[in-house]
Amino acid sequence: MPVKSELLYEGKAKRVYRTGDPDRYLVEFKDDATAFDGLKKGTIARKGEINARLSALFFQVLSRRGVPTHFIEQTGPRELLVRAVEIIPVEVVARNIAAGSLAKRLGLAEGTPLKRPVLEFYYKSDALHDPMINNYHIAALELATDTQIKEMESYAWKVNELLTEFLQPADLVLVDFKLEFGLFHGHVLLADEISPDTCRFWDGTSGEKLDKDRFRRDLGGVEDAYEEVLSRVEKLLQ
Amino acid sequence: MPVKSELLYEGKAKRVYRTGDPDRYLVEFKDDATAFDGLKKGTIARKGEINARLSALFFQVLSRRGVPTHFIEQTGPRELLVRAVEIIPVEVVARNIAAGSLAKRLGLAEGTPLKRPVLEFYYKSDALHDPMINNYHIAALELATDTQIKEMESYAWKVNELLTEFLQPADLVLVDFKLEFGLFHGHVLLADEISPDTCRFWDGTSGEKLDKDRFRRDLGGVEDAYEEVLSRVEKLLQ
Ligand SMILES: Nc1ncnc2c1ncn2[C@@H]1O[C@H](COP(=O)(O)OP(=O)(O)O)[C@@H](O)[C@H]1O
Ligand SMILES: Nc1ncnc2c1ncn2[C@@H]1O[C@H](COP(=O)(O)OP(=O)(O)O)[C@@H](O)[C@H]1O
Ligand SMILES: [Mg+2]
Ligand SMILES: [Mg+2]
């Protein structure tokens, strides 16, 4: 078992620990939830475990289908062993259906299918409130090279295709999601997490929201929604 | 002389009139100035004349160097005859130095030269407050085709190169500017205006602002700044 050493970083949803191996970190998923740029705070029971498990499963599905990820193995109920990467401070958001900030930005009713899927970049900076940026801003700020931008774009599209298809038999619609990438010995890897905190999942039949929007918008049934996504994904993999 | 017929559209800075020819409009430049999404209103003496003249001169410079524009001829002190286009509702902004909203967005001090010039798209929609968008949003909303987006990008870069070079002997630094394009019988043309209302011009020696920021930020000497730009540009063309 890898040894949990110094706490490197505590974020809003996870703790990152060094291990004996400088190339590997342990990520511990917390039950803490925040929204609206940190203004709303709360706890979602069992979220840490569910998001760790879902991330592990999604990363495995993606690695097997050719997307390089930071995931090595799950080492505890809420703990993943991952490759230690230098996070590229750019959040990559892919969207299939208008929801959240996109619906507001473009004046579309939430739920409007997009005629073409959308990819967006946000500058991961709490101080600047994660502003939307484009590839030129990324280049001007030297946040990533042109090649790295292209790789992130193409991995994000691949994740969108693969997860959309993977989730379809579970009657889960992948509305949108946020990815983070990192550099591992010069290579771009998919990092961070993939969970109801970072994706919008809607029930394909009822349209019910099964993700963090239940917390953001006080819709109730938050824990049940997270559990439901996990149980459907686990069934897919049986 | 073309006949000024029905007023087609009155905007914040100009009036657009039909003429006897359905392919041609007359654009009348007003002295009215607005800023901050219409919250700040005022008048800038002689602005209509200066911006009409400067636009005419800039459009001529650009057409001669291969950028197709809507400009036909100047028909009065504040009036241009132009090709009647269907405006693509996307504002294209090019930037060489951080200023205004970009400085704020990226947390850069105003005046920081960008390591790479930046191009941005904004959705021209008063109701939505002109949100920043990217090429995927444009495609999803069908605001322009992929080819049209590429053409707007490449014309914007060309305008940036040409005007930067053109203004250099007048000791005017082209900090950033906003362009609008339109469709004329299926072809993309540069339209609207190019003036101190839509560009940031800084004096190359003193750094003094010679553009609408003097109005936005109550710096005084607004009219003088507009006159100064016109007189320097006219000298360049003598
Ligand atoms: N494999 C990895 N190596 C290094 N850092 C990572 C890795 N995966 C995720 N991270 C980073 O660890 C932090 C995870 O904690 P989180 O609570 O999500 O933080 P934040 O509040 O910044 O979103 C994030 O900053 C994320 O970018
Ligand atoms: N050649 C043209 N044909 C048709 N419309 C034009 C042309 N050039 C500019 N326009 C449009 O005319 C209007 C000009 O008025 P303006 O006061 O700048 O409007 P706004 O308040 O919308 O910015 C703008 O909507 C602009 O897009
Ligand atoms: Mg995070
Ligand atoms: Mg205008």
List pLDDT tens digits, range B156-185: 999 999 999 999 999 999 999 999 999 999
Q: Does domain A7-83 have CATH number 3.60.15.10?
A: no
The CATH 3.30.470.20 domain(s) of chain A lie at 86-221
Region class of A3: left (phi > 0), else alpha (psi between -120 and 50), else beta: beta
The CATH 3.30.200.20 domain(s) of chain B lie at 7-83
Per-residue pLDDT of chain B (238 residues; tens, 9 = 90+): 789 999 999 999 999 999 999 999 999 999 999 999 999 999 999 999 999 999 999 999 999 999 999 999 999 999 999 999 999 999 999 999 999 999 999 999 999 999 999 999 999 999 999 999 999 999 999 999 999 999 999 999 999 999 999 999 999 999 999 999 999 999 999 999 999 999 999 999 999 999 999 999 999 999 999 999 999 999 999 9
Mind telling me how many Å the CA of A142 is from chain B's nearest CA?
8
Report the relative pairing of strands B172-184 and B199-203 from DSSP bridges. Answer: antiparallel
Tell me how far apart the alpha carbons of residues B15 and B130 are, in angstroms, rounded to a whole number.
Answer: 20
Residue A31 phi/psi, 5-degree rounding, is -85, -5
Q: Where are the alpha helices (DSSP H) in A35-117?
A: 47-64, 100-106
Whether B113 contacts chain A with CB within 8 A: no
List, for residues A172-193, the tens digit of each pLDDT value: 999 999 999 999 999 999 999 9
Tell me how far apart the alpha carbons of residues A86 and A93 are, in angstroms, rounded to a whole number.
Answer: 19
Q: How far is residue A175 CA from its own chain's centroid? A: 13
Closest CB to A142: pick one of B115, B141, B142: B115
Whether A136 contacts chain B with CB within 8 A: yes
- Between helix A47-64 and helix A222-236 the angle, nearest 10°, is 30
Whether A109 contacts chain B with CB within 8 A: no
Question: Residue A22 contacts by C-beta under 8 Å, 6 or more apart in sequence?
Answer: A84
Please answer whether residues A1 and A19 qualify as being in contact, where contact means their C-beta atoms are separated by less than 8 angstroms. no
Tell me how far apart the alpha carbons of residues A73 and B189 are, in angstroms, rounded to a whole number.
Answer: 56
CA of A77 to the centre of ligand 4 (A): 57
Tell me how far apart the alpha carbons of residues A88 and B118 are, in angstroms, rounded to a whole number.
Answer: 20
Instruction: Choose the residue to mutate in B16, B18, B51, B124 for probing ligand 2, maximizing ligand atoms within 8 Å of C-beta.
Output: B16
Q: Does domain A86-221 have CATH number 3.30.470.20?
A: yes
Please answer whether residues A175 and A99 qualify as being in contact, where contact means their C-beta atoms are separated by less than 8 angstroms. yes
- Between helix B47-64 and helix B146-167 the angle, nearest 10°, is 110
Structure tokens at A57: 């499963």
ipTM above 0.90, yes or no: yes
Whether B61 contacts chain A with CB within 8 A: no
Q: Is the CB of B12 under 6 A from ligand 2?
A: yes
Could you say which DSSP state residue A70 is in? S
List, for residues B6-44, the tens digit of each pLDDT value: 999 999 999 999 999 999 999 999 999 999 999 999 999
